[in-house]
A = this chain, B = another copy of it.
Amino acid sequence: MSQLISLRDRKRTETWAALHDAAARLTLENGPDRVTTEAIAAQANVSARTFFNYFGTKEDAILGLQDPSIHDSWLAAFDVDADLLDQVSRLLVQVVHSTEGGADGDSLRMEVVRRFPQLRQRRFGYFLKVEQLVRDVLTEGITASAKWADVARRHRAEDISRMIVLIAGAPMRYAMQESAHAPTLDNQFAALSTANALLREVLPEIQ
């Protein structure tokens, strides 16, 4: 019973959470610059070296950011031949969401971001990785799609994907810039849907 996930995976998750929690907690107490990776590791009861096995930078730990990854089920649901703007932006949202650690209701993270908005910048860096991932998926889809065969004859699939992801990602960038100042969950959602509507309105005009 309760062997749904291996002990190894469970412990890895626990360690990740312990580090993020320690980082966020200590940051709230002392501010991000007065917290050392060493202190975080000590608080999480692991070595300083292990800290960097889990997070690339101190800020990632504070924010609980994970390397973006694409879940199989998202891939299965992805359809190049459907409304691409919709498909791609959905995938972008999913992957971006996957970079923000397990628990959504992580009030610690929200509090940290509220108090130290500078940290928010890190998300933009992550967004580049997210785009790369989604681009790869899209490129593969386009290459295999009959619908795109024509365009693909005049442009490389990589370039087509790059352009589409840029367009479909515009609302997310918009929302990130917007909510950087007042980074609450509500603000993010609001900004994103505003941006989506905006994009839909702008697109026909420029075609």
Interface of A toward B, CB cutoff 8 Å:
7, 46-47
* 2 interchain pairs, CB-CB under 8 A: A7-B46, A7-B47
Instruction: Tell me if A's interface is mostly helix, strand, loop or mixed.
Output: loop
Q: How far is the CA of A46 from the CA of B7 in the complex (A)?
A: 8
CB distance from A38 to the nearest CB of B (A): 11
A7 to B44, CA, bound (A): 12
Q: Note all chain B residues with C-beta closer than 8 A to A7.
A: 46-47
What distance in Å separates the Cβ of A5 from its nearest Cβ neighbour in chain B?
Answer: 13
Cα(A49)–Cα(B98), bound, Å? 33
Once the chains are docked, how many angstroms separate the CA of A46 from the CA of B10? 11
Bound complex: CA of A50 vs CA of B7, how far in Å? 12
Instruction: For the complex, give the distance between the alpha carbons of A46 and B47 in Å.
Output: 18
In the bound complex, residues from chain B placing their C-beta under 8 Å from that of A47 are 7
